Structure 1
Amino acid sequence: MIIHPLITKTEELSALCERLAKSDFVTVDTEFMRENTYWPELCLVQIANTEEAAAVDPKADGLDLSPLLDLLTDNEDVLKVFHAGGQDVEIIYNFTGRTPHPIFDTQIAMMAISQSEQIGYSNLVESWQGLTIDKGARFTDWSRRPLTERQIEYAIGDVTHLAKIFPKILKRLMKTGRGQWLDQEMEKLADPANYRNDPTEAWKRIKAAGRNAAMLGRLKAIAEWREIEAQGKNIPRGRIARDETLADLASHPPKQQSDLAKVRGLSQGWKDNDIGKRLMNTIAKSSPLTDDEMPPRAPRGAPLGKEGSLVADLLKLLLKIRAREIDVAARLLARSEDLELLAAGVRKNLPILEGWRYEVFGHDALDLVEGKLAFAVVDGKLKMTRVEDAEEVPVTE
């Protein structure tokens, strides 16, 4: 494989992307920093196919990333392969408003051919290639220039190894016939809605007790305010105020600005500075959530009550058994919250009762809830048996 020197010129990047556009797939990775900024700071992009690989320096003076971004987001003929690519996709979306498509994530794919829930990249390489990755540059400051040869070599390794591993994973998927299981998961990863940063929706990520419309209305208002403040200053939202502080402010709104000095998580300066004034104005202008805005009541726990949690535990046990039997990650088959909803009597809009998940697991899960399946120990292993198939054991006096 040809490893190119660090690309810093638009002409070099255009030529590389023109060649890569003829590939069936490219492997992609990014290096970024986000500890001190709201928006991730893109520091390096690595890309490869089976013949060549390169690292691209987005911080190089005069470099136009358009050829690379167009290849990733506009070319439907080239499959874009990532490993745990959620944050990489987010960065590309921030630049373009588009996401890479078609897309393939090897971490997700491993869930369909092994019991690995979230296999790390170094473990992936060791598993498929028997190589140990040097992690010395893992926690480097990628924003500093110049980059060392060791840093560039480490970064490019992320895509050169992946270019060799991906065809093997694809072959295994084809052999097991589980490729279609991943279609929905990959489309989710590529869905732009996952990466849109709408400040008006920020409150939904904050845990707050209760369903009081006025309290939630305040939470919505101040969460939106925090996002806008953080974006304007390009600092992490937690530097403005932590989630717990926002929840506290929404539940116990201060009557006047001087009261902000008593709020845990805010400094004394908030009692008379401009940001404190803007926060107080936001709280004052907030309004209760409408009925349409209120979060839906979770049916969890009803109508089975305490018995429902026992049924859910049995379903989770069934999930472990099935995942082990077919060598697949349990999380790919079902989420815990879906099992709890099934135990509570919910039958509509559950992924485990649709498509391939129903065939592989959901059908048996439903039978277990309805008393058609039972647990048994066979040859020292826990297995499931159908109640109607079991022989009736006579009762002796």
Structure 2
Amino acid sequence: MKIHDLITTTDELTALCNRFANADFVTVDTEFMRENTYYPELCLVQIADDKEAAAIDPMAKGIDLTPLLDLLCDNEDVLKVFHAGGQDVEIIYNLTGKTPHPIFDTQIAMMAISQSEQIGYANLVESWLGITVDKGARFTDWSRRPLTERQIEYAIGDVTHLSRLFPKMLKKLIGTGRGVWLDAEMEKLADPANYAQDPGEAWKRIRAQSRKADVLGRLKALAGWRENEARHKNIPRGRIMRDETLADIAAHPPRVQADLAKVRGLSAAWKDNDIGKRMMDVIAGAGPLPKSEMPERNQRGAPLGKEGALVADLLKLLLKIRSREIDVAPRLLTRSDEMEALAAGTRDLPVLEGWRYDVFGKDALELVEGRVGFTVKQGRLEMTHFERDDTKRGADPALNTPPAVFNDNSVGDEEE
């Protein structure tokens, strides 16, 4: 494979992208810094196909990234391959308002052919290619110039290794017949709505204990205000205030600005500075959350009673069994909050649709409805299907709950 010198001019970049425009796929990675800014600062872009690879310096004086961005976002004939590409896609979206398409993420793909939920790039390369990745340059300051040869070599390695293992992974995926499982996951990764960061939606990412309309109204107003403050100052939102502090203020709003000196997580200076005044104005102007925006009960995140929590635990146990049987990552089938919603009575869920229903959702629903139990056979925990006989068991739903036998040695210690 031909490895180019660091590309620092628009002419070099244009020529490179013209060649990549005829490739079946390109592998892409970025290096960026975001510790001190709201938006990640793009410092390097690496790209390769099966013939050549290059690193592009977006910080080079006068360089125009348009040829690269057009290749990534507008050329539908070239597949763009990432590993754990969410943050890379976010950067491209921030530059263009568009996302790379079509897209393939090897970390997501691994979930369909193994029980690995978030396999790291180094482990992926070692397991597929037998190559140990040098991690020494991983945490360097990519914004400093000039970049060292070691930095550039490390960065380009991320895409050259990926260009070798991607065809192998694709072949195995095709052999399993599970490629269709990933279509929706890849489209979700490429959905621009995931990266829009609407300040009016920021409150939904914050865990709130209360469901009172006035508390949630303040939470929405404060979260949107914090988002705009962080953007304006170009600093991480956590530098304005942490989520926990924001949620606490929404639940227990200070009566006057001087009370901000007593709020844990805020500087005492907030009691009489401008940012404190702006926040008090936001609190004063916040109304109750409209009924149309109130989170519904028994939806994801809704509190479960004791019995519902036990049912959710059984669903999680069922998920462990099924993912082990078919060698697939549990998170590809469903997530904990979705199983809790199923246990709480919600039925409009992805796990009850399409291939997920066929592979796991049908059994999960039967467990909730009392038609699946657990047994131990030769030391292994297995599912048992049986027909529910309401005439013998009675109308009490508690009597229709299947018995469960647990074998701690066979369940395993995986995290949910």
| 1:369 to 2:368 alignment | yes
Corresponding letter in the other structure for 1:64: D
Corresponding letter in the other structure for 1:360: V
Residue of structure 2 in register with 1:395 after alignment:
none
Is the alpha carbon distance of 1:100 and 1:365 closer, same or farther for their aligned partners in structure 2, counting shifts above 3 Å?
same
**Contact 1:25–1:80 at 8 Å: present in 2 too?**
yes
Is the alpha carbon distance of 1:314 and 1:62 closer, same or farther for their aligned partners in structure 2, counting shifts above 3 Å?
same
Report the Cα distance in structure 2 between the residues aligned to 1:336 and 1:243, rounded to whole angstroms: 22
Corresponding letter in the other structure for 1:324: R
Report the Cα distance in structure 2 between the residues aligned to 1:28 and 1:283, rounded to whole angstroms: 44
Residue of structure 2 in register with 1:75 after alignment:
75
Residue of structure 1 in register with 2:115 after alignment:
115
Residue 295 of structure 1, CA deviation? 2.0
Show the 5 A alignment for 1:5-24: 5-24=5-24
Report the Cα distance in structure 2 between the residues aligned to 1:304 and 1:337, rounded to whole angstroms: 11
Report the Cα distance in structure 2 between the residues aligned to 1:182 and 1:309, rounded to whole angstroms: 30
Residue of structure 1 in register with 2:221 after alignment:
221
Residue of structure 2 in register with 1:129 after alignment:
129
- Which segment is superposed worse, 132-141 or 353-362? 353-362
Is the alpha carbon distance of 1:184 and 1:63 closer, same or farther for their aligned partners in structure 2, counting shifts above 3 Å?
same
- Which segment is superposed worse, 140-149 or 376-385? 376-385
**Contact 2:320–2:330 at 8 Å: present in 1 too?**
yes
**Secondary structure in 2 matching 1:93:** helix
Corresponding letter in the other structure for 1:376: T
**Contact 1:21–1:71 at 8 Å: present in 2 too?**
yes
Residue of structure 2 in register with 1:343 after alignment:
343
Corresponding letter in the other structure for 2:270: W
- Which segment is superposed worse, 287-296 or 138-147? 287-296
| 1:292 to 2:287 alignment | no
Show the 5 A alignment for 1:1-397: 1-299=1-299, 305-347=305-347, 349-387=348-386
Report the Cα distance in structure 2 between the residues aligned to 1:246 and 1:311, rounded to whole angstroms: 33
- Which segment is superposed worse, 291-300 or 250-259? 291-300
Residue 128 of structure 1, CA deviation? 0.1
Q: Percent identity?
A: 76
Report the Cα distance in structure 2 between the residues aligned to 1:302 and 1:88, rounded to whole angstroms: 32
Residue 388 of structure 1, CA deviation? 5.4
Report the Cα distance in structure 1 between the residues aligned to 2:254 and 2:345, rounded to whole angstroms: 42
Deviations 1:145-199 (A, max 9, x none): 1000000000000000000011011000110000000000000000000000111
Residue 212 of structure 1, CA deviation? 1.9
Report the Cα distance in structure 2 between the residues aligned to 1:266 and 1:156, rounded to whole angstroms: 43
Corresponding letter in the other structure for 1:355: G
- Structure 1, gaps ≥5 residues long: 390-397
Aligned residues: 388
Corresponding letter in the other structure for 2:57: D
Task: Report the TM-score, using the length of structure 1 for normalisation.
Answer: 0.94
Aligned Cα root-mean-square deviation (Å):
1.8
Residue of structure 2 in register with 1:392 after alignment:
none
**Secondary structure in 1 matching 2:276:** helix
Is the alpha carbon distance of 1:74 and 1:125 closer, same or farther for their aligned partners in structure 2, counting shifts above 3 Å?
same
Corresponding letter in the other structure for 2:370: G
**Contact 1:33–1:42 at 8 Å: present in 2 too?**
yes
Corresponding letter in the other structure for 1:277: K
Residue 359 of structure 1, CA deviation? 1.1
Report the Cα distance in structure 2 between the residues aligned to 1:160 and 1:299, rounded to whole angstroms: 44
Residue 379 of structure 1, CA deviation? 3.0
Corresponding letter in the other structure for 1:214: D
- Which segment is superposed worse, 107-116 or 219-228? 219-228
Residue 299 of structure 1, CA deviation? 5.0
- Structure 2, gaps ≥5 residues long: 389-416
**Contact 2:304–2:340 at 8 Å: present in 1 too?**
no
